[in-house]
Amino acid sequence: MRISRIPYRKGMMLRRETNREWLNATTLAACAALGAAFFTSLFAASASAQIARVVDDSGRQFFVNAEPPVKPNLNATKARPNIYLPAESSFTGHSRPAMEIGRDGVEKLVREASDRHSVDPALVRAVIETESNWNPKAYSRKGAGGLMQLIPTTAQRYGAYDVFNPQQNIDAGVSHLKRLLERYGNLDLALAAYNAGEGAVDRAHGVPAFRETQNYVQRVQNAYFRPGSGRLPDAFINPHAIHRDVTPDGRIIFTNE
């Protein structure tokens, strides 16, 4: 019985030793692969963190331990998308054919309406930018629509029966703005009336204490008086600008009055 059991035990020992050797070899190979990957990533990170030389636009040189920033391509200009309005018809008889107009076409409408009503085109552009951000399909929760955000009653008063038609909207909006400028003789009050209504301005005897209206007046004037707006130099004076005055005795005074 003992003799018959000896070969069986030797076979099991041999298989166990073979399995142990295979497991050790597999473990060593896996460790070697992980080590190689670790050192590869370490060296790659070290390479990317090397000292780099950066030259700015004025010719000055900087040495930084980071990759040089990617300079944007300032020469590439993004094409302005065209404005497309599908054809519409209504039971009231006011139909609109399909039309497509680009931003340059809208600028042309602004110039024509401004010349027709003697309003600074830069002011009209500032109102459009603040009201709709040049979106002819813009529609507010208060019912105002189009580029200059006209409510239906105001639009129809000036002959615009389709507030989403850029030509009708701009012509009516410029006409309304012109009348407000003539009535109040003040840019702040005219813009406040354009936003909150003439009744609110009359009741407040000035710009109403509505946060929306006050922010609106400021935003339009920021767009109108900013450099490069193309405004007419003698059209309006920025009431919030800092002026430099010299007194008779030679003192220099800076004031916003």
Residue 165 — very low, low, confident or very high, per pLDDT cuts 50/70/90?
very high
More reliable by pLDDT, 104 or 7: 104
Query: Of these residues, 100, 112, 131, 212, which one is catalytic?
Result: 131
Residue 68 pLDDT > 60: no
Is 112 considered catalytic here? no
> How far is 87 from 100, CA to CA, in rounded Å?
10
Looking at the fold, whether 114 and 194 belong to one and the same domain comes out as: yes
Q: How many domains does the structure of the chain reveal?
A: 2
Looking at the fold, whether 13 and 119 belong to one and the same domain comes out as: no
225 lies in some domain: yes
C-alpha distances in Å from residue 186, one per residue of 118, 199, 204, 256: 16, 16, 15, 17
pLDDT score recorded for residue 235? 79
Looking at the fold, whether 120 and 232 belong to one and the same domain comes out as: yes
Looking at the fold, whether 149 and 226 belong to one and the same domain comes out as: yes
Tell me the pLDDT tens digit for each residue of 225-245: 999 999 988 777 665 555 466
Looking at the fold, whether 5 and 126 belong to one and the same domain comes out as: no
Host domain of residue 136 = 101-245
Q: Share the mean pLDDT of the chain.
A: 76
16-28: burial string, b at 16+ Cβ within 10 Å, e else: eeeeeeeeeeeee
**Amino acid letter at 165?**
N
Looking at the fold, whether 129 and 235 belong to one and the same domain comes out as: yes
250 lies in some domain: no
Residue 247 — very low, low, confident or very high, per pLDDT cuts 50/70/90?
confident
pLDDT score recorded for residue 217? 96
Residue 201 pLDDT > 50: yes
Looking at the fold, whether 167 and 236 belong to one and the same domain comes out as: yes
19 lies in some domain: yes
210 lies in some domain: yes
pTM: 0.58
65 lies in some domain: no
Task: Return the axis-axis angle of helices 166-184 and 187-196, rounded to nearest 10°.
Answer: 130
Please work out, in degrees rounded to the nearest 5, the angle formed at the alpha carbon of residue 109 by the alpha carbons of 108 and 110: 90
Looking at the fold, whether 122 and 237 belong to one and the same domain comes out as: yes
Residue 105 — very low, low, confident or very high, per pLDDT cuts 50/70/90?
confident
Task: Return the axis-axis angle of helices 121-131 and 211-225, rounded to nearest 10°.
Answer: 140
Residue 127 pLDDT > 60: yes
Looking at the fold, whether 108 and 230 belong to one and the same domain comes out as: yes
226 lies in some domain: yes
What are the backbone dihedrals phi and psi of residue 110, each rounded to the nearest 5 degrees, phi first? -65, -45
Task: Kindly state the average pLDDT of the residues 79-99.
Answer: 50
Q: What percent of the chain clears pLDDT 70, i.e. is strictly above it? A: 55
Q: What is the domain-level CATH number for residue 174?
A: 1.10.530.10
Looking at the fold, whether 116 and 33 belong to one and the same domain comes out as: no
Residue 174 — very low, low, confident or very high, per pLDDT cuts 50/70/90?
very high
Looking at the fold, whether 170 and 239 belong to one and the same domain comes out as: yes
pLDDT score recorded for residue 57? 62
